[in-house]
């Protein structure tokens, strides 16, 4: 049987959530062994978490902080593991590393996949959005090895199993770093990170300006212990920072509850929130596409609906 390799990052002494998602996707293929490459200073400390998450062997590359070094480490790990399938996440780093890795391995990349599987001949079949998220295509990866990048939050990590054991090996590789990071500026954030929030309250063009995001939407999100998001139109208008964007070209979220206020429900936006367990829509246009996707919907003016909803929540929560 063939092996799989996942390319991931480590932070805070643990594997990044995207790395654990890739491990789960690799395990779903039914391969014999799953190798994981973890990069960054916390790689060694994060190795046990990767093994508990389903990896059989972990390569650590503590010195691979720059993207060029991560690429060199990934190429070395692919050679040493002999993996037939190589998976990575379409994170900020993955968008740079995975296409270049596929080129170095002499194969092609199936990018931004929502799921992967094997056909009867052992070929990797990747499902990915097309036409701006309006449809999905299943593509067969004919190269060897097969390389694919997964959209974050498209696969659930496996429940951690502390009883699992595996090998941890510091990876020997030669880094050829041509570009370096001169400065990192962290975006100031409030409350829960949107990617990890159980509740996301998002606003769109229908809100008419930036004020509702800081007032009504923020109040509702805080009451529910959630985060505020936005459509691309709201971000492009400068009402909120780009980091708020949910959608095909923004962030993918999978909350228990997604409240869409003044959002029409274009396919590009739904690609980022379509896997929410429960979607609630508030829109004055009763024919808006969002109502086709929503479990619950209110066709009405958000200026009347949302304050009434918030007031009712205050009463229920005491």
Domains in the chain, ordered, with CATH?
4-170 (3.40.50.620), 194-317 (3.40.50.1220)
Distance CA 294, CA 312 (A): 21
Distance CA 165, CA 13 (A): 18
In terms of Cα–Cα distance, which of 237, 283, 272, 275 is closest to 256?
Answer: 275
Distance CA 261, CA 284 (A): 10
Contact 83, 37 (CB under 8 A): no
- Both tokens of residue 314? 């205050």
In terms of Cα–Cα distance, which of 162, 239, 152 is closest to 202?
Answer: 239
Q: Pairing mode, if any, of strands 296-299 and 278-283?
A: parallel
H or E, element range at 104 = helix 94-104
- Helix ranges (H only) for the chain are 17-28, 43-52, 67-81, 94-104, 211-212, 218-223, 232-236, 267-273, 290-293, 302-317
Query: Can you give the pTM of this predicted structure?
Result: 0.82
pLDDT tens digits for range 13-49: 999 999 999 999 999 999 999 999 999 999 999 999 9
Contact 93, 74 (CB under 8 A): no
pLDDT by 10-residue block (mean), the chain, 318 residues: 94 92 97 97 96 97 94 97 96 94 97 94 93 86 96 92 96 92 74 86 96 95 95 96 90 93 93 91 95 94 94 86
- Both tokens of residue 207? 């809100």
Contact 262, 303 (CB under 8 A): no
Distance CA 35, CA 58 (A): 6
Residue that the structure tokens 């954030």 belong to = 189
């Amino acid at each position: 049987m063939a092996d799989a390799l996942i390319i991931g990052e480590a932070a805070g002494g643990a594997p990044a959530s995207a790395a654990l998602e890739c491990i789960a996707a690799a395990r779903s293929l039914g391969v014999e062994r799953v190798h994981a490459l973890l990069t960054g200073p916390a790689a060694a400390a994060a190795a046990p978490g990767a093994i508990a998450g389903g990896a059989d062997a972990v390569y650590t590359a503590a010195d691979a902080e720059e993207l060029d070094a991560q690429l060199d480490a990934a190429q070395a790990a692919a050679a040493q593991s002999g993996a037939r399938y190589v998976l990575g996440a379409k994170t900020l780093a993955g968008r740079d590393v995975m296409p270049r890795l596929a080129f170095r391995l002499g194969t092609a990349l199936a990018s931004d996949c929502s799921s992967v599987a094997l056909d009867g001949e052992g070929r990797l079949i990747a499902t990915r959005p097309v036409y701006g998220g309006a449809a999905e295509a299943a593509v067969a990866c004919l190269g060897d090895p097969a390389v694919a990048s997964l959209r974050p939050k498209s696969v659930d990590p496996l429940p951690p199993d502390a009883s699992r054991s595996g090998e941890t090996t510091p990876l020997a590789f030669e880094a050829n770093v041509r570009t370096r990071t001169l400065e990192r500026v962290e975006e100031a954030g409030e409350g829960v990170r949107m990617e990890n929030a159980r509740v996301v309250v998002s606003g769109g063009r229908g809100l008419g300006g930036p004020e509702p995001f800081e007032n009504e939407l923020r109040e509702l999100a805080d009451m529910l212990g959630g985060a505020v998001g936005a459509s691309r139109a709201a971000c492009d208008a400068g009402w909120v920072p780009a980091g708020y964007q949910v959608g095909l070209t923004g962030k993918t979220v999978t909350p228990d509850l997604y409240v869409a206020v003044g959002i029409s429900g274009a396919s590009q936006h739904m690609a980022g929130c379509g896997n929410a367990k429960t979607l609630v829509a508030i829109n004055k246009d009763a024919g808006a596409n969002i109502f086709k996707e929503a479990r619950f919907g209110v066709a009405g003016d958000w200026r009347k609906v949302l304050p009434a909803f918030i007031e009712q929540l205050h009463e229920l929560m005491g």
